[in-house]
Amino acid sequence: MSTGQIVSVADRSASGPLRARVAGPLVVAAAVLAAALLGIVLRPVGLLSAFWPANAVLLGLFVRWPRLATPAGWLAALVAYVVADVATGSALVRTLTLTGINLSGVIVGFLLLSRLQADDVALKRPTSVISVIVMVALASIAVGIAGATAHPFLFRGAASPGVFFFWAATELANYMIILPVMLTAPSRLQPAEWSRRIARVRPAEAAPLLAYLLSLAVTPLMGGPGALAFAVPTLLWCALTYGRAAAALLNLTFAVWTLLVIGTNPQAFGLSLETPLAMLSLRLGVMLVALGPIIVASVMAARDALLQEATEARKAAEDAMAARSLLLATMTHELRSPLTSVVGFSSLMSRQTHGPLGSPKYVDYAQSIELAGSHLADLVTDLLDTARLEAGRMELVSARIASGEVVEQALRLVRGLALESGVTVASVPGPWPDVWADPRAVKQVLINLVSNGIKFSDPDSSVTVSGEIVGDRLVIHVADQGRGISPADLPRVGRAYAQAGDAESRRRGTGLGLSLSAELVRQHGGALKLDSTVGVGTRVTFDLPLAPAEASGVSGADG
């Protein structure tokens, strides 16, 4: 009975109480009996025990599908063991003793492995493979102890460490070769689906499997002990390509093929299997070879899971960013219209355009409303521009502009804030060549940087704007004499919505100006840099491309 048939029957067993009570034990009995009879058929070779492969099949069934591990399921397994053993002509007492030894390992393994999480049972991580190895090793030790204890009664021989080791090591080898197949097999095997998958397989995808089959065919022809390792590279290739389930199944085919081929003609490989120890060494060698592909496949599964998790996290972050940008764009658009009215009407009232307001306090109130509204309008503009930049919907239109004129326009727009703060703003005479940039973006960057300098400077200090030509770029410096930024806070400055300094400093800013300015400069192919000293001031530098004629003139002068 195939794994797919076993799973199909097990799943259908949940359709009704009576059906479940009958179908589950039948599945267990059929699987154990089939595995045991297969061992009996191979027994003349002298390398495969009649019952130990059945132990791994039973343990895999109960661990992978715990609903089968009912009292009736355990009883069905016991009956299957007894029936198979009786078929070999063994006495009933000896049969029951051997069955008890076999079940002791399965019980210990089930109690240990049932504590693992589903991902560990499915060998999805390298640590999962290690956990399974440790637990089945303990189960094998239990079998070894039971087998060594019963050995004098069963075989009229003395108990010895060699007997214990033979039982335990052989049990471990069978577990590590057969159990991964049970643990990693697909939950449902639909013939139609698998037919479609096979039909869609490309030649490149089939290459590892074809190489593996070819290596198996060549192994008997090569001869010598080295021939046993000939299939190992192709097994690893298959593990990298097909995953855990395929690697486990191919490991099983490799183990059976190797044991059968060597058992038929061990002399061709330079081996002698006349003693139990030699036979045991071969089994352990095959087991160690089989561990490699399983570990490689589990590493790849863990890597794929991490990549999938990272992809999903990135998509979630991008969706959240898009939602936030949409919210900001919608919110700022809705706020801009009423703010324009508030600022406009408060300006008319503060200037008493249509007549006196009466009390001077009303004029002062109107001016406060105008200032607060203007500040809020600037914040809304920054929010809208930031949302547009993040959404990739802010298009810059570069043109030839006079850098000196743009600097003067920006300074005129912030002079009101400078007068209110008692700070002097000025541009340093020097080279102000034409640049190739978006005039609105450059003006916004200058306003943001100079405004920041004013906000964080003390009265009677100054903010200066200077420029210099470096290569084919105009480098602009905005320097203030403010309190400066501590080295610990510098990394945070320039990130959207992040602010540095004390509570008073944070109250003065929005955390958007620098990040928006840096992004606008970046879209011009430049970079915005900060250099600050606490108690001395801050210097912000950014660069813009020179206009084509200016750049060629500079290049000619340099040459």
Q: What is the CATH number of the domain that holds 411?
A: 3.30.565.10
Query: Which pair of structure tokens corresponds to residue 357?
Result: 């307001």
The reported pLDDT for the residue numbered 507 is 42
Mark whether 385 and 421 lie in a shared domain: no
pLDDT bin (cut points 50, 70, 90) of residue 332 is low
pLDDT tier, 194 (very low <50, low <70, confident <90, very high otherwise) = low
Q: Which range (182-196, 205-219, 506-520) has the least confidence?
A: 506-520
- Do 381 and 423 belong together in one domain? no
- Range picked from 200-204, 248-252, 518-522, 541-545 for highest mean pLDDT: 541-545
Element of type H or E holding 463: strand 462-470
* Sequential DSSP letters for 408-437: HHHHHHHHHHHHHHT-EEEE--S---EEEE
SS3 letters across 40-61: HHHHHHCCCCCCHHHHHHHHHH
Per-residue confidence (pLDDT) for residue 335, from 0 to 100: 74
Tell me which of 22 and 541 has the higher pLDDT. Answer: 541
| More reliable by pLDDT, 501 or 190 | 190
- Strand order across the 424-427 sheet: 424-427, 462-470, 473-480, 537-545, 528-533
* pLDDT recorded at residue 265: 72
Residue 7 within any structural domain of the chain: yes
Residue 46, pLDDT above cutoff 90: no
Q: How far apart are CA 471 and CA 550, in angstroms?
A: 11
Q: Do residues 377 and 438 both lie within one domain?
A: no
Decide if 264 is inside a domain: no
- Residue where a domain stops, chosen among 352, 371, 391: 391
403 and 516 part of one domain = yes
- Measured at the CA of 157, the angle between CA 152 and CA 162, to 5 degrees, comes to 100
pLDDT of 58: 93
CA distances from 350 to 366, 372, 445 (A): 5, 13, 30
Other residues' Cβ atoms within 10 Å of the Cβ of residue 261: 17
Answer whether residue 263 is part of any domain: no
> Is pLDDT at 21 greater than 80 in this prediction?
no
The domain containing residue 526 runs over which residues? 399-558
- End of a domain among 349, 366, 391? 391
Interatomic CA distance for residues 381 and 316, integer angstroms = 27
Residue 465, both tokens: 């704007």
SS3 label, residue 69: coil
Q: What is the per-residue pLDDT for 504?
A: 46
- Residue 123 maps to a domain: yes
Comparison of pLDDT for 180 and 342, the residue scoring more: 180
| pLDDT the model gives residue 530 | 87
Q: Number of folded domains in the chain?
A: 3
The answer on 541 and 405 residing in a single domain is yes
The reply to whether 105 and 133 lie within a common domain is yes
Q: Is 421 part of a structural domain of the chain? A: yes
More confident residue, 101 or 345: 101
Residues 6+ apart with CB under 8 A from 26: 9, 76
How much is the pLDDT for 193?
65
On whether both 346 and 455 belong to a single domain, the answer is: no
Which of 152-161, 254-263, 337-346, 431-440 shows the lowest per-residue confidence on average (mean pLDDT)? 152-161
- Of the three residues 338, 359, 391, the one that is the final residue of a domain is 391
**Is residue 145 one of the residues assigned to a domain?**
yes
Assigned domain for 259 exists: no
pLDDT in tens, 59-117: 999 999 998 999 999 999 999 988 888 877 777 888 888 888 889 999 999 999 999 98
Per-residue pLDDT reduced to its tens digit, 246-293: 889 998 888 888 877 776 777 767 666 666 677 777 778 888 888 888
161, amino acid identity = P
List the one residue out of 119, 257, 249 whose CA is nearest residue 185. 249
131 is a domain residue: yes
Query: pLDDT above 90 covers what percent of the chain?
Result: 21
Host H or E run for residue 389:
helix 360-391
Whole-number pLDDT of residue 107: 94
DSSP line for 173-228: HHHHHHHHHHHHS-S---HHHHHHHHHT--HHHHHHHHHHHHHHHHHHHH-SGGGG
Co-location of 343 and 442 in the same domain: no
Question: Which residues are CB-neighbours of 19 under 8 A, at least 6 positions away?
Answer: 12, 13
CA distance 113 to 104: 14
Are 459 and 360 found together in one domain? no
Crossing angle for the helix pair 71-87 and 17-42, nearest 10 degrees? 30
pLDDT at res. 505? 44
Structure tokens at 227: 């021939």
Same domain, 440 and 375: no
Domain check: are 471 and 515 in the same one?
yes
Hey, what are 222's tokens? 């090569």
Q: Which pLDDT belongs to residue 47?
A: 45
Neighbours of 310 (CB within 10 A): 10
Q: Judge if pTM exceeds 0.85.
A: no
Phi, psi at residue 402, to the nearest 5°?
A: -85, 115
Residues 405 and 360 in one domain: no
What integer is the mean pLDDT of 219-231? 74
Average pLDDT, the chain: 80
Q: pLDDT for 124-136, tens place per residue?
A: 888 999 999 999 9
